[in-house]
Structure 1
Amino acid sequence: MAAISGGKTYHHGDLRNALICAAVDLATEGGPERVVLREAARRVGVSPTAAYRHFDGRGELLRTVRTHARCVLADAMERAAGREPGADDPALAAERRLAALCRGYVGFAVDQPGLYRAAFCVLRPDGTAGAMPERQVPEPEIRAFTLLRDAIEGLARVGTPRPAVRPAAGAAAWSAVHGLSLLLLDGPLRRLPAQRRNAVVETTLAMVVSGTRAL
């Protein structure tokens, strides 16, 4: 999705996609709270009335941005895994892939905090981000979780034969990296210098991998 820089005026083509691009820019700059349909319309250079022909309101636009943010998070994880060197030992290769996916997850959160927060914002019925649960049909499974779960199952299939991995293992790994990401963004760990932050990240990833091996 190509971003539209501020100040450019929309002339023709796909207005819906242009509004989404502007909204993604807003989320990147300031998280889900910054995503407002009127501001997206202003950035594109159209009237709010024109924007409302493509989106019912802020809630629909924010939901679209959230879907985009979840996709780019998973893409970042896969890129991190793709950069990991291979290994002749299948078990070591599986461990490296799991750690790299987790590293990509946390790295995305640190590098793109606005989009990361947008990826997991909860929408109120009025379309604003908040703590109230959504009233809508269940969403498709989040690909970031699927990648972690599949990596854990792949690790369980190699090495010494053992019982199948516990069904909750994927959620446990996700909880570890998601919790760490939030601590680095909004919690006490946000003040850590880069070297100590990296040490905490790598230690957490080692715990995820070793914990998976022990299941």
Structure 2
Amino acid sequence: MSEAPEQVGGKPGYHHGDLRNALIEAALGLAREGGPDAVVLRAAARQVGVSPTAAYRHFAGQGDLLFAVKERGQQELADSMEAAASTEPGRDGPAVERRLIAMGWGYVDFALRQPGLFRAAFCGAPEAVPELEPDSTGNLCPAGGAPAQFRSFDLLVEVLDELAASGRMAAERRAGAEVAAWSAAHGLATLLLDGPFAPLAREQRDAMIEQVLSTLAAGLTAS
């Protein structure tokens, strides 16, 4: 029989039986509201209705909880990219190019819909981030063959590989294309959230997103 979590202040407390996931869900709510700085283990424990002592049985500290939130943020970002890309299911070159643009929209849209979680998804965390190194073709991949931490990166690599395989993108442009594409989408998202583009009206913002992503795709596929 599992040990019951300690309750706080005589409250009914937590009875579900999966305290770790309950704490992560509470921390995700904190991140959505206030970004990575709001992810505090004691605050998550208070929301769930257990003592900090009970929370520390599942997380070594605040950094450990923040890393769990970071991973979930990355998962939701990748889900947004996949959902956007699914609207362009074709396999010919033009369809793959449209899918690349749609995937960029999914990336930036997630940042604008979930700014707190987006910031948490890319915050510093105590766990080591796998290093990226060029493979035999010059494309970036996790060092030592380790699985990529960011599924969003995997999705980008896949669509760029498809773009090259379709003949839409010249083979000599494939190496390092993920760096240009990721930098464009992430940089734009950051400028729209925290930079000089933040005050733009929605129509202006959407036009800017379309222009940046279309320009990126045109550059990658230029003959």
TM-score of the alignment, normalized to the shorter chain, above 0.5: yes
C-alpha separation in 2, matches of 1:83 and 1:163: 26
- What's the CA shift string for 1:164-197, capped at 9, x where partnerless? 5432100110000000000000000000000000
Name which of 100, 103, 125 aligns with 2:102: 100
* Residues 196/150 of structure 1: CA separation in 2 closer, same or farther (3 Å cut): same
The answer (yes or no) to whether the contact 1:81–1:100 under 8 Å persists in 2 is: yes
Counterpart of 2:207 in structure 1 is 199
Larger radius of gyration: 2
RMSD: 2.1
User: Percent of aligned pairs with the same residue?
Assistant: 53
C-alpha separation in 2, matches of 1:107 and 1:158: 27
Question: Which runs of no fewer than 5 residues in structure 2 stay unpaired?
Answer: 1-10, 132-146
The runs of at least 4 consecutive aligned structure 1 residues that moved more than 4 Å come to none
* Residues 52/121 of structure 1: CA separation in 2 closer, same or farther (3 Å cut): same
Counterpart of 2:8 in structure 1 is none
- State the Cα distance separating 1:66 from its structure 2 match: 0.1
* Residues 111/90 of structure 1: CA separation in 2 closer, same or farther (3 Å cut): same
2:171 alignment partner, SS class:
coil
2:174 alignment partner, SS class:
coil
Q: Write the mapping of 1:63-74 to structure 2, written as runs, cut at 5 A.
A: 63-74=67-78
Counterpart of 1:23 in structure 2 is 27
Name which of 159, 164, 179 aligns with 2:187: 179
Counterpart of 1:150 in structure 2 is 158
Counterpart of 1:114 in structure 2 is 116
C-alpha separation in 1, matches of 2:168 and 2:209: 28
The answer (yes or no) to whether the contact 1:145–1:171 under 8 Å persists in 2 is: no
The answer (yes or no) to whether the contact 1:80–1:104 under 8 Å persists in 2 is: yes
- State the Cα distance separating 1:162 from its structure 2 match: 4.0
- What's the CA shift string for 1:82-112, capped at 9, x where partnerless? 123x45x711111111011000000000000
TM (norm. structure 2) is: 0.82
- Matched residue type, 1:156: A
* Residues 8/200 of structure 1: CA separation in 2 closer, same or farther (3 Å cut): farther
Moved more, 55-64 or 89-98: 89-98
C-alpha separation in 1, matches of 2:99 and 2:166: 13
Moved more, 44-53 or 146-155: 146-155
- State the Cα distance separating 1:9 from its structure 2 match: 4.1
The answer (yes or no) to whether the contact 1:110–1:185 under 8 Å persists in 2 is: yes
C-alpha separation in 2, matches of 1:161 and 1:79: 23
Counterpart of 1:138 in structure 2 is 130
1:46 alignment partner, SS class:
coil
